[in-house]
Structure 1
Amino acid sequence: MPPVPARGHHLLAATGLRTRARHRAEVGTLGHPSGPPATATALGELGSPLSGVRLVGALPRLARAPRGDGHLVVDIPGWKAPELSGAPLRGYLRRMGYDARGWGFGTNTGDPRRDVERLARSVLELVDEKGAPASLVGWSLGGVIAREVARRHPDAVRRVITYGTPVTGGPRHTTVARAYRRGPDPDARRVAERLEPTAPVPIPLTVIFSRRDGIVAWQACLDHTSPDVEHVEVSSTHIGMGIDPDVWAVVADRLAVSPAPSA
């Protein structure tokens, strides 16, 4: 994991020279979601472009991340986000040595049942072509889709990394649902909520969350059931996560971990 910034180095962290990411070994005491993020937190999303400033300052440490082994990484956008939203991260991962690709379906329109089916088919074809499992990286609703593909096809998925992804409660704990009285398919949410405690994702998971997330309640992102899950807290808005250097550093660090040998 990237090192935790020492006390007194907040200025360096603010400029991106140091990380704000913190590994959270125990999340059971962090609480459970009670609804969407507070209005003040949601308004903080207006500062999302500032993540780009930190990204510039973080370029030297991002360049020092572990080199990739060339394996396939599929990036899945969040709800209503175009595939282009993940282009900066994919570009970085390619430079680090990964075969990083978009999911191939354009804007995520919010139909996870359909998207799980078609992404699963695509991933299986790509994995067969590459001859090795893929890693899935999902932002917000994209992470929900990534988790479900991994749940259904664990032999085809090496690792899942999500950021700003609601694991519990679905749209009930999002600002978007409160504002528009609608969100991604509620039937798919109910199915996922039944599966989480009874059929947890069986492969390594990295969950990235932020208390500054003004779109998804951060407590809803915590995974209390999967057997091989780690949580990393960053200090980013929800929209800013796509260009947050700490998110990028964690993604690169975890993708570089070799898969456990088959029993």
Structure 2
Amino acid sequence: MYDFEGDHGAPAAGASGAPHRALMLLELPRWTVEYGSSRLIDLAAGVLPDRDLGQGRPVLVLPGFSAHDKLTGRLRAHLAQRGWNVHGWGLGTNHGLTEKIVTGLPKRFADIAARYDEPVSIVGWSFGGVLARWLAHENPHQVRQVVCLGSPWRAEGERTRATGMFEKSKDKHGIVPNARAIIDQVRGPVPVPLTAVWSKTDGIVPWQGCTVDPSTDPIAENLEVLSSHVGMVANPLVLAAVVDRLRQDPAQWKPAS
């Protein structure tokens, strides 16, 4: 994420550092395979659709840093095909903790929440998962659950292959004065059921920074998958995990077996 300490690339104490460069270079070819595989699965599901899984419940999907709604289209289509009412964030490209996003995202969430007589689930990819945690902290009674996909929310995950992009974006697009306070807030236990999906073969963020500790956060769980970082919103294993967790009843929530 951001280089709040001004250390210009040095990992924070206890941090694992960015993933190996080889994993980063494999991101695009792996994404191609993951995307194609999930398309084939959904084409097959179109013949024998299981459209009652979501029961019309609302889901808000947040894109990762430097991404936008188009790049979460595969995930959103997969959920919509299975019966969820799925919403993109409608804020253009995710440039981080800018005034537009810090002001606009709560308004977008409030607008969606007002349409339904029930809490909204939030699925956040990468930095979008960090923002999902923030929304849950701010709106605990309106958020059903949170699913984070490769989201480096811990201090141990601060140094990623995208940290330089965050710093350039901060110079170009700005950052809110309370950005550090927001990050400190999201590092506390989330008050709703949370699933952290992560991969040891992630080529962009260190997986250690994406995990949760169920011993201190009892309504949070880890789900390890084999996936690239970019492919988190298209990988068939990840999509299956998201569907499974969104089906859970928060009143009877329990970790995946």
- TM-score strictly above 0.5: yes
**Where does structure 1 lack aligned partners over 5 or more consecutive residues?**
1-31
Aligned to 1:54: 37
Task: Report the residue type matching 2:126 in the other structure.
Answer: S
Once residues 200 and 176 of structure 1 are traced to their aligned partners in structure 2, the CA distance between those partners, rounded to angstroms, is 25
Matched, 1:201 2:184: no
Conserved? CA contact 1:210–1:236, under 8 Å: yes
Aligned to 2:112: 126
Aligned to 1:164: 150
Task: Report the residue type matching 2:226 in the other structure.
Answer: S
Matched, 1:226 2:217: yes
Conserved? CA contact 1:66–1:253, under 8 Å: no
**Secondary structure, aligned partner of 1:135:** strand
Conserved? CA contact 1:113–1:188, under 8 Å: no
% same residue: 34
**Secondary structure, aligned partner of 1:155:** coil
Shift of 1:53: 3.5
**Where does structure 2 lack aligned partners over 5 or more consecutive residues?**
1-13, 253-257
Once residues 91 and 32 of structure 2 are traced to their aligned partners in structure 1, the CA distance between those partners, rounded to angstroms, is 26
Cα gap change, 1:173/1:189 in structure 2, threshold over 3 Å: closer, same or farther?
A: farther
1:101-250 correspondence to structure 2 within 5 Å: 101-111=87-97, 114-169=100-155, 172-178=158-164, 182=168, 185=175, 190-196=180-186, 199-224=188-213, 225-250=216-241
Q: Deviations over 1:55-79 (max 9, x none)?
A: 2454458956971121110010001
TM-score normalised to the size of structure 1?
Answer: 0.77
TM-score normalised to the size of structure 2?
Answer: 0.79
**Secondary structure, aligned partner of 1:158:** strand
Q: Deviations over 1:40-94 (max 9, x none)?
A: 2212213221112332454458956971121110010001102111111111111
Q: CA RMSD in A?
A: 2.7
Mean CA deviation greater in 55-64 or 140-149? 55-64
Once residues 21 and 178 of structure 2 are traced to their aligned partners in structure 1, the CA distance between those partners, rounded to angstroms, is 27
**Secondary structure, aligned partner of 1:130:** coil
Cα gap change, 1:66/1:207 in structure 2, threshold over 3 Å: closer, same or farther?
A: farther
Cα gap change, 1:113/1:180 in structure 2, threshold over 3 Å: closer, same or farther?
A: closer
Once residues 250 and 166 of structure 2 are traced to their aligned partners in structure 1, the CA distance between those partners, rounded to angstroms, is 41
Alignment: residue pair count: 229
